[in-house]
Amino acid sequence: MKIIIAPDSFKESLSALDIANTIKAGFCEIFPEADYIIRPIADGGEGTVEAMVHALKGEIITTTITDPLGEKGTAFYGLSGDKRCAIIEMAAASGLERVPTEKRDAKTTTSYGTGELILDALDKGARQFIIGIGGSATNDGGAGMLQALGVKLLDDAGQQIGYGGKNLRQLVRIDMQAIDPRLADCQFEVACDVTNPLTGQQGASAVFGPQKGASCEDIALLDKALKHFAKIIKRDLGRDVEHIPGTGAAGGMGAGLLAFLNAQLKPGIEIITEQLQLAPLIQQADLVITGEGRLDHQSLNGKVPIGVATLAKKYHKPVIAIVGSFGEKAESVYPYGISAMFSILSRISTLESALQPQTTKDNLFLSARNIAATLKMGYQLGQHEYYQKVR
């Protein structure tokens, strides 16, 4: 029996790899001879680097970067075993979690550090890039990233504009002459699970600005700045990005990647499953197991269990989802290919207690073991009924 184990992480508790290994350990108690294939999955956000590095037999690289506040720090990215593919989580260098609450200011934060991660990966030989752009602290349209890569965003005095979205208002001309020439040979895939345009009521500033410290006045200022940025991009690069779905992701980073690096904006789960070649593995499997911390109707929006189950459904493979807990309308996932779902919670507990890594691991192991035992009993009963009929 071949079993594919392809879960997401249980956020704030265990990584996707830990989840997958624990499920395998539980199943091995009942099916020790089964052929297990471990494929931890992420949807392009947190955990993507670890999942991809595991599958591509790569390594995690740590390097010095400029953080969203313009200060020096360190951040990580993943590099495949053959050094050709870099996996970058924008949040690692330019994420909201890097900025203390009292210092969050969407007008001044920069994405420069994300550009530095790309440069470091270029130096190591990468020419294919997978970039997850969730969780950013920035609203600069990717301007900082572009400056790190050699793009000159010039004001009326011919000088580089300063960090932060507010300074996009000073942009007069884009100079591409000094952009790193190696980028011309690169392919960029961007994990983007939102459809917001760059500007307007559903744009980057209005929708995502408040969580980055933007006031109502700031939102109006930043929206005008991004609108101006889009105007200059259209004039100087011939790319009209203002109203394209997804260009408002990560404070407009989607627009910057699309316009300057010819990136493809795609659902994160689609990029990851393609890169991991999950479809042919599932095609050969007898059973697929997936999971995440909380399964509910929001899981339909590009989350790992639905992405895995949708693939499995194409090949008529049964899918079991093992999750931390069920949320509202969890039953809505069944039509997408999930055959059965189980919560690992075995007793009433506080959220803090349930999220303890060892508690999660113990509950997950027991659940996986019991699910496997139930499957074995079902098989035995089926065999028994069959032989009864033969008699």
CA angle 63, 268, 296 (to 5 degrees): 120
Instruction: Convert the pLDDT of each residue in 260-286 to its tens digit.
Output: 999 999 988 888 888 889 999 999 999
Phi, then psi, of 91 in degrees rounded to 5? -60, -25
Q: What is the pLDDT of residue 140?
A: 96
- Amino acid making up residue 23: I
Distance CA 108, CA 138 (A): 8
User: In the chain, what are the domains?
Assistant: 2-41+277-390 (3.40.50.10350), 48-268 (3.90.1510.10)
Average pLDDT over residues 16-33: 95
For residue 91, pLDDT beyond 70: yes
Instruction: Give 335-364 pLDDT, tens digit per residue.
Output: 999 999 999 987 777 777 767 888 889 999
Query: Which residue carries 């390594």 as its tokens?
Result: 59
pLDDT band per the 50, 70, 90 thresholds, residue 385 = low
Q: Please give the C-alpha separations between residue 150 and each of 75, 82, 115, 147, in angstroms, as whole numbers.
A: 20, 26, 9, 5
Report the pLDDT averaged over residues 134-143.
94
- Distances, alpha carbon 302 to alpha carbons 66, 164, 194, 269, 279, in Å: 31, 30, 10, 6, 16
User: Average pLDDT, stretch 203-212?
Assistant: 94
Residue 55: band (very low, low, confident or very high) from pLDDT cuts 50, 70, 90: confident
Instruction: Please choose, from the candidates 236, 232, 73, 257, the residue with its C-alpha nearest in 3D space to the C-alpha of residue 167.
Output: 232
Is 46 or 320 the better-scoring residue by pLDDT?
320
Q: Which of 104-113, 126-135, 223-232, 345-354 has the lowest mean pLDDT?
A: 345-354
Cα distances from 6 to residues 66, 137, 290, in angstroms, run 34, 30, 5
Does residue 348 or residue 257 have the better pLDDT?
A: 257
Summarize pLDDT for 362-384 with one digit per residue, the tens: 999 999 999 999 999 888 777 66
Determine the 3-state secondary structure of 256 from DSSP: helix
Could you please report the per-residue DSSP string of 261-314? H-PEEE-HHHHHHHHTTHHHHHHT-SEEEE--SEESGGGGTT-HHHHHHHHHHH
- pLDDT at position 234 is 97
Joined together, the tokens standing for residue 276 give 């991991």
Task: Please say if the pLDDT value at position 108 is more than 90.
Answer: yes
Taking all residues of the chain, what is their mean pLDDT, rounded to a whole number? 92
The mean per-residue pLDDT over the stretch 219-246 comes to 96
Residue 391 confidence (pLDDT) above 50: no
By 3-state DSSP, what share of the chain in percent is helix, strand and coil, each rounded to 5?
A: 45, 20, 35
CA–CA–CA angle 337, 338, 343 (5° rounding): 165
State residue 388's pLDDT score.
54
* Banded model confidence at residue 389, pLDDT cuts 50, 70, 90: low
User: Can you spell out the DSSP letters for 183-223?
Assistant: GGG-EEEEE------SSSTTSHHHHHTGGGT--HHHHHHHH
Model confidence at 390, in pLDDT bands (50, 70, 90)? very low
Q: Are 52 and 36 in contact (CB under 8 A)?
A: no
The average pLDDT across 93-121 equals 96
